[in-house]
Homo-oligomer: A and B are copies of this chain.
Amino acid sequence: MSAPEFKAPPTIGSAAMLGDCATLLQGYPDQCVDLIVTSPPYADQRASTYGGIRPDDYVAWFLPRSEQFLRVLKPTGSFVLNIKEKAVNGERHTYVLELILALRKQGWLWTEEYIWHKKNCFPGKWPNRFRDAWERCLHFTRQRQFKMNQQAVMVPTGDWAQTRLKSLGKNDVVRYDSQVGNAFAKNIANWQGREMAYPTNVLHLATECGNKQHSAAFPLALPQWFIKLFTDEGDVVLDPFAGSGTTLQAAVELKRHAIGIDVAQEYVDMCREILAPVQGRTMEPRTPYVTQRSRKTVRPESDRCGLSQQAPGES
């Protein structure tokens, strides 16, 4: 809405900032972001940082922030919102449904709802429900025409995976993959024709349960998939609730600019560690490069999600 005096540099660098995105984004110009991928604090969660938004207040809390998202997003950009409503008093709360309706009123188009199927979801047992193994990835856009690189996330067809892939040795597959690099899917599509298929709107991704000190809101493969799908190299990716920086890490690995915002200094520090190797760079990295921390080698793109999203095999 407001036309800020601040002008973005010709090339926005990656950065992690401390603050509330509701106010911090006001310093950003209109239409400077290609993609927003975020997993906001769920209602009643992270009480210490965001003050524990109550489910009934969630929409009112969210709208001023999404208003900024709408302003800074390019017309061809996308906004991917990973969220799942809580069960309150034995019933699913409706704040996510109400949020979708409210965002449409705000000017967003509710283009699609992707399902993230969590293959290894949290264990537990309750008398009136089973374990919750899925979350919504709501896809909002400003226009009906937007940037979508469908080829970038193609997956092997079922036949190919069940017959052709099995006939190859495992090492053959891996070696072939690494030689071709991140043009894997694209080149296969050109060479092999019908042996690659477009994925569906259901993503099969396991939650990461490794030795990370803090639980990421979603696995790296999730932002990877949307970043590949909705941006090109050099585009700008924003996570206004950056948390431990999973979205930023995915963006940096894929040679996109990454902007992260969080209200907690601890999280901003973690984001800065992720961004450290690319701070001030002009975004033309040699590959592969390695982060300073003990995170795995940052490969340009291992097509993790492409493989993981492969449809489940039958018994």
A206 to chain B: which residues have CB within 8 Å?
A: 314
CB within 8 Å for A91 and B128 given contacts A311-B119, A312-B204, A315-B161: no
Contact A128 B148 (CB under 8 A): yes
CB within 8 Å for A201 and B129 given contacts A100-B94, A315-B161: yes
Contact A165 B134 (CB under 8 A): no
Contact B110 A92 (CB under 8 A): yes
Distance in angstroms from A273 CB to nearest chain B CB is: 30
A270 to chain B: which residues have CB within 8 Å?
A: none
The yes or no answer to A117 lying at the interface (CB within 8 A) is: yes
The yes or no answer to A202 lying at the interface (CB within 8 A) is: yes
Distance in angstroms from A152 CB to nearest chain B CB is: 12
Distance in angstroms from A302 CB to nearest chain B CB is: 13
Contact A94 B90 (CB under 8 A): no
CB within 8 Å for A128 and B146 given contacts A94-B110, A201-B133: yes
Chain B residue nearest in CB terms to A124: B198
Contact B115 A128 (CB under 8 A): no
Contact A111 B97 (CB under 8 A): no
CB within 8 Å for A132 and B200 given contacts A92-B112, A101-B94, A109-B90: yes
The yes or no answer to A286 lying at the interface (CB within 8 A) is: no
The yes or no answer to A145 lying at the interface (CB within 8 A) is: yes
Contact of A201 among B134, B310, B314 (CB under 8 A): B134
A283 to chain B: which residues have CB within 8 Å?
A: none
Chain B residue nearest in CB terms to A202: B133
Binary per-residue interface labels of chain A (116-151) against chain B in the complex, 1 for a CB within 8 Å, 0 otherwise: 010101000101111111100000000011101010
Contact of A91 among B127, B130, B144, B201 (CB under 8 A): B144
A113 to chain B: which residues have CB within 8 Å?
A: 92
The yes or no answer to A210 lying at the interface (CB within 8 A) is: no
- Determine the distance from Cα of A87 to Cα of B144 in the docked complex, in whole angstroms: 12
Chain B residue nearest in CB terms to A125: B198
A145 to chain B: which residues have CB within 8 Å?
A: 127-128
